[in-house]
Amino acid sequence: MHRKVAITGLGVVVPHGMEVAAFFDALMHGESALKVHSPNGAPGPVAIPAGRCEYFDAVAALGRARANGMDRYSQIGTAAALSAWNDAGLDFASGIDHDDIGVFWGTGGGGTSTVERGYQDLFLRARPRISPLSVILGMNNAAASHIGMALGLGGANFTYSVACASSAIALGEAFRRVRSGEAPIALAGGSETPLTYGVIRAWESLQVLAPGDEDTAHAVCRPFHSDRRGLVLSEGAGAMVLEDWQHAVARGADIHAELAGFGTSCDHTHLSRPDPTGQVRAMRAAIDDAGLNPADIDYVNAHGTATREEDVAETEALRKVFGKHAPDVAVSATKSMHGHLMGATGIVEAIVTALALRRQSVPPTAFLDTLDPACAGLHHVTRAETGFRIRAALSNSFAFGGSNAVLAFRSA
């Protein structure tokens, strides 16, 4: 028998800051955190639009000893997880068995800073050896391990690396554990720090990054816009505490929303070209898994990367899923303000979706002043809408490799 799953804790480390409520407020006001930055480790002047957590002080957030033993992606991931844990108000002294609680984490690249620094030492500086910590700092599962150690969580500790769907899949797998009764509580999320010179140059070679200068960088990510020119990479992390509903109610927890369904699919057609058919299957699977109908969905936080092909493919998929109901579904792509956090995007946008349900408010797709006709047929939210009735919502994550993950939420 399936159990209801409550969302009782939220935490973020995103370009806008570390306060969840302030982050959502900024999105509602259409405030972009994107600026021109120089990638870490760049040998010369390189400037690209990006979302960087400039304010983040790992030592202040985690302590010097702990922070020094982590790659940056583990640092921001652990900080987000600790924030979510604190938001949930969990206390081991209350009788919760920490060995029943698992960590489910997502990342596309893991410790890219450590890996790139090692290559620079070997091939640019011709050093005979690299840091003996390179393997354990750079491995993809390091963040999940650090989170488990920081909180003393002895349950399952899994890392999912599925490109841009990584943290959405991590959250979905954690949801399944709690819903099945296998665990009363799970901590899920993801972190990514792709703003290194090598990673940026690799993405530039794909010709999918939006160009911009100091005057235009904040508004250069424009999903569904007729003149969209590409995505903007960002670093960041997000975390959620999921809890058996009855357990949460019994301890008087503050419930943000209900995570109600999870759907996945594989396009099985192309490594980088999106396929609406696969996206349709994932959305329908999530809606069915939640025991809902398409007409029950009032809001979709779109994947919306601002690339030419992806936005059109997602629009086609949304029109197919919702049919006559499509013009009534509010759709927004908040990447226009926080950028594309790669493996961490799914969890950050899931947090935005949960808060939209809680506040009954929809953040906009910023800077969408001219809609691409190929993306028409939906209710694109271009200015924040408050007092908007949201009974249920979806959060879409579609990844290179053709992996699609969709999460369905209900209002609490």
Residues belonging to the active site: 164, 303, 340
Nearest-CA neighbor of 104 among 347, 318, 350?
347
Pair 283, 321: CB distance under 8 Å: yes
Cα separation, 326 vs 313, whole angstroms: 15
Q: Do 177 and 102 form a contact (C-beta atoms < 8 A)?
A: yes
Rounded Cα distance, 118 and 290, in Å: 45
Please give, one letter per residue, the 3-state secondary structure of 119-161. HHHHHHCCCCCCCCCHHHHHCCCHHHHHHHHHHCCCCCEEEEC
- Residue 37 makes CB contacts below 8 A (sequence gap 6+) with 47, 48, 49, 50, 52, 195
| Whole-number Å distance between alpha carbons of 196 and 100 | 37
Which amino acid appears at position 409 of this protein? F
What does the chain come to in residues?
412
E strand or H helix at 405, and its extent? strand 403-410
Q: Residue 248: CB partners within 8 Å, gap ≥ 6?
A: 6, 8, 255
CB 297 within 8 A of CB 286: no
Count Cβ neighbours within 10 Å for each residue of 315-326 and write b for 16 or more, e otherwise.
Answer: bbbbbbbbeeeb
Reading the block at residue 44, the tokens are 């010369």
